[in-house]
C-alpha cells in the first residue's frame, strides 16, 4: 500500500472509530430524510392509482375510466401495491379479487378494497377513484337494465355507446402555469429531501471531521509519519484523500440507503455519482482548509457545524432554492451546494444528460481544484508550526 493510501485509510478509520460520528454520518441523515418525506414530501403532479388483482373485465373497465380522467394506472400485485403506497409512489390502491370480478360480470354489487396513501394528495385522488367506480357501476347497471328487459347484450352495448356519443359531457381543463410547480414535476415523496440532506451532511461531516486533522497535528501523529521516508507532499495528499474518503463513504451510504429503503430515484446513477464525487472533493478541500488554519479541534468542530449549516441553508439544503427571492437565489450560487443541487435536480426530475449538467460539474471541479490547492498550501505551512 502506498504512503498516500495508507495515510488516507488511517484517517478514515480514525473518523469512523468515533461512535458519535457513526450516528451522525449513517443514522441521523436517514431518519431526517424519513421525517421530512413523511411530513412534507409529495409525489409528482400526476395522480397515480395501483390496481392489484387478477385481470378481469372489472379491472379493464376501471383502468379505462381512470385513464380517461388523466390518472396514471398501474396493474400490479397486492404486495407491490402496498409497498408503493407506503413509499409514496402511488396515491391510491385498488385491491380486487375473484369474487369482485364475478359479481361485476353478473351485474351484482361488488365491494372493492381501497387504500389511500398517507400523503396529502391521496384524499383528492381517492375522490377521483370514487367517481370512476361510480361511473363504471352506472354503466354496468344500465347494461343490466337493458339486458333484463330482453335486449340482447350486443344491442344493449351498442345502444349505450350511441347514447353516450350523442351527449356532450362538460369538461374542465386546469392548467397550472406556476414555474415552481412545474419544476417539481416527477419528484417522488422522498426524492427532494434525500438530495438536500445528502449535500448538507456530506459537507457538514467533512467540516466537523477537520478536527481529526488538528488532533493528528497536535498529538504528533503527522510528525511521526514524516519521520518515516514520507515526504510532506505525500502527507498532504494522504490527508486530502482521507478527507475525500470520509465524505464519499457517507454520501455513497446515503444514496444507496435512500434508494433501498425509501425508493428514492437518483436518475442516471453514474451521473449522480459523478456529482457526488466532485462535491465530496469540494467538501474535502474545505475541511483541509479548516484543519490547517485552526489549532483547536473543539473550536474547529463548532466552526464546522456553524459554517456547514449556514452554507447548506444558503445553498438550498433546507428550503428549496426555487422558493428563494431573486437576490438570495443569486447569492446562493456562491456555495457549492447550489451547483450540486441544480445538477441533481436536472438528473432526478428532467432526465438530464452529461451535456445538461456540464456547467454545474465545471464549477464544482473549479471550486474543488481552487480550495484543494489553497488547503494543501495551508497544510504544508502548518506542518512546521508548533501547536
Residues 222 and 137 grouped into a single domain: no
Q: Does 58 reside within a domain?
A: yes
Q: Does 178 reside within a domain?
A: no
pLDDT in tens, 40-85: 655 545 678 888 887 788 888 888 888 877 788 888 888 888 888 8
Residues 129 and 210 grouped into a single domain: no
What pLDDT sits at residue 149?
62
Stretch 6-15: mean pLDDT, rounded? 78
Report the range of poorest mean pLDDT among 19-28, 248-257, 316-325, 347-356: 19-28
Residues 359 and 266 grouped into a single domain: yes
DSSP 217: H
319: left (phi over 0), alpha (psi -120 to 50) or beta: beta
For the cut 90, the answer to whether the pLDDT of residue 351 exceeds it is no
For the cut 90, the answer to whether the pLDDT of residue 365 exceeds it is yes
Report the range of poorest mean pLDDT among 81-95, 147-161, 182-196: 147-161
pLDDT-derived band at 142 (thresholds 50, 70, 90) equals low
For the cut 60, the answer to whether the pLDDT of residue 1 exceeds it is no
pLDDT in tens, 102-137: 887 777 777 888 888 776 667 778 888 888 877 777
pLDDT-derived band at 274 (thresholds 50, 70, 90) equals very high
Q: Strand pairing of 92-95 and 48-52?
A: parallel
What pLDDT sits at residue 154?
62
What pLDDT sits at residue 227?
66
What pLDDT sits at residue 12?
79
Domain that holds residue 78: 48-166
**How far is Cα 235 from Cα 254, in angstroms, rounded to an integer?**
29
Residues 357 and 233 grouped into a single domain: yes
Is residue 7 within 8 Å of 234, Cβ to Cβ?
A: yes
For the cut 90, the answer to whether the pLDDT of residue 251 exceeds it is yes
DSSP letters spanning 179-194: HHHHHTTT--TTHHHH
Residues 77 and 151 grouped into a single domain: yes
pLDDT-derived band at 155 (thresholds 50, 70, 90) equals low
End-to-end CA distance of the chain: 30
Domain boundary among 100, 133, 166: 166
pLDDT-derived band at 288 (thresholds 50, 70, 90) equals confident
**How far is Cα 131 from Cα 134, in angstroms, rounded to an integer?**
5
- Residue 257 CB burial class (10 angstroms; 0-12, 13-18, ≥19): middle
Residues 267 and 361 grouped into a single domain: yes
Is residue 115 within 8 Å of 84, Cβ to Cβ?
A: no
Residues 324 and 371 grouped into a single domain: yes
Domain boundary among 137, 166, 195: 166
Residues 82 and 7 grouped into a single domain: no
With vertex at residue 290, the alpha carbon angle to CA 204 and CA 364, rounded to the nearest 5 degrees, is: 60
**How far is Cα 374 from Cα 208, in angstroms, rounded to an integer?**
19
**How far is Cα 6 from Cα 53, in angstroms, rounded to an integer?**
57
The tally of domains found in the chain comes to 2
**How many CB atoms are closer than 10 A to CB 268?**
15
Q: Which of 131-140, 255-264, 286-295 has the highest mean pLDDT?
A: 255-264
Residues 315 and 286 grouped into a single domain: yes
**How far is Cα 143 from Cα 165, in angstroms, rounded to an integer?**
16
To the nearest whole number, what is the mean pLDDT of the chain? 80
Stretch 311-321: mean pLDDT, rounded? 92
DSSP 111: P
Q: Does 177 reside within a domain?
A: no
For the cut 80, the answer to whether the pLDDT of residue 324 exceeds it is yes
Stretch 260-279: mean pLDDT, rounded? 92
Residues 25 and 119 grouped into a single domain: no
**How far is Cα 341 from Cα 333, in angstroms, rounded to an integer?**
10
Report the range of poorest mean pLDDT among 84-93, 141-150, 245-254, 290-299: 141-150
pLDDT-derived band at 200 (thresholds 50, 70, 90) equals very high
Amino acid at each position: 500500500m502506498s504512503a498516500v493510501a495508507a495515510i488516507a485509510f488511517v484517517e478514515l478509520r480514525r473518523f469512523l472509530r468515533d461512535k458519535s460520528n457513526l450516528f451522525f454520518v449513517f443514522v441521523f441523515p436517514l431518519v431526517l430524510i424519513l421525517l421530512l418525506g413523511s411530513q412534507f414530501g409529495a409525489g409528482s403532479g400526476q395522480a397515480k392509482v395501483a390496481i392489484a388483482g387478477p385481470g378481469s373485465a372489472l379491472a379493464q373497465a376501471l383502468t379505462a375510466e381512470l385513464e380517461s380522467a388523466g390518472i396514471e394506472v398501474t396493474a400490479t400485485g397486492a404486495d407491490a401495491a402496498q409497498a408503493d403506497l407506503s413509499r409514496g409512489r402511488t396515491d391510491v390502491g385498488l385491491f380486487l379479487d375473484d369474487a369482485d370480478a364475478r359479481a361485476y360480470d353478473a351485474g351484482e354489487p361488488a365491494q372493492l378494497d381501497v387504500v389511500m396513501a398517507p400523503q396529502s394528495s391521496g384524499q383528492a385522488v381517492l375522490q377521483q377513484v370514487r367517481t370512476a367506480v361510480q361511473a363504471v357501476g352506472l354503466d354496468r347497471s344500465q347494461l343490466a337494465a337493458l339486458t333484463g328487459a330482453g335486449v340482447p347484450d350486443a344491442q344493449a352495448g351498442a345502444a349505450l355507446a350511441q347514447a353516450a356519443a350523442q351527449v356532450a359531457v362538460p369538461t374542465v381543463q386546469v392548467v397550472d402555469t406556476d414555474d415552481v410547480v412545474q419544476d417539481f414535476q416527477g419528484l417522488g415523496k422522498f426524492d427532494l429531501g434525500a438530495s438536500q440532506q445528502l449535500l448538507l451532511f456530506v459537507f457538514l461531516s467533512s467540516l466537523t471531521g477537520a478536527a481529526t486533522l488538528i488532533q493528528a497535528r497536535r498529538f504528533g501523529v503527522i510528525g511521526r509519519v514524516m519521520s518515516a521516508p514520507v515526504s510532506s507532499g505525500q502527507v498532504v495528499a494522504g490527508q486530502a484523500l482521507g478527507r475525500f474518503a470520509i465524505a464519499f463513504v457517507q454520501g455513497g451510504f446515503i444514496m444507496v440507503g435512500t434508494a433501498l429503503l425509501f425508493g428514492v430515484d437518483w436518475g442516471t446513477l453514474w451521473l449522480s455519482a459523478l456529482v457526488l464525487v466532485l462535491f465530496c472533493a469540494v467538501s474535502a478541500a474545505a475541511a483541509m482548509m479548516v484543519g490547517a488554519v485552526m489549532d483547536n479541534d473543539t473550536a474547529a468542530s463548532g466552526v464546522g457545524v456553524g459554517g456547514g449549516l449556514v452554507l447548506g441553508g444558503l445553498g438550498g439544503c433546507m428550503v428549496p432554492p426555487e422558493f428563494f427571492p431573486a437576490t438570495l437565489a443569486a447569492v446562493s450560487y456562491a456555495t457549492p451546494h447550489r451547483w450540486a443541487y441544480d445538477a441533481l435536480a436536472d438528473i432526478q426530475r428532467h432526465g438530464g444528460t452529461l451535456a445538461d449538467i456540464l456547467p454545474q460539474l465545471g464549477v464544482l471541479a473549479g471550486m474543488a481544484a481552487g480550495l484543494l490547492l489553497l488547503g494543501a498550501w495551508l497544510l504544508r505551512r502548518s506542518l512546521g508550526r508548533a501547536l
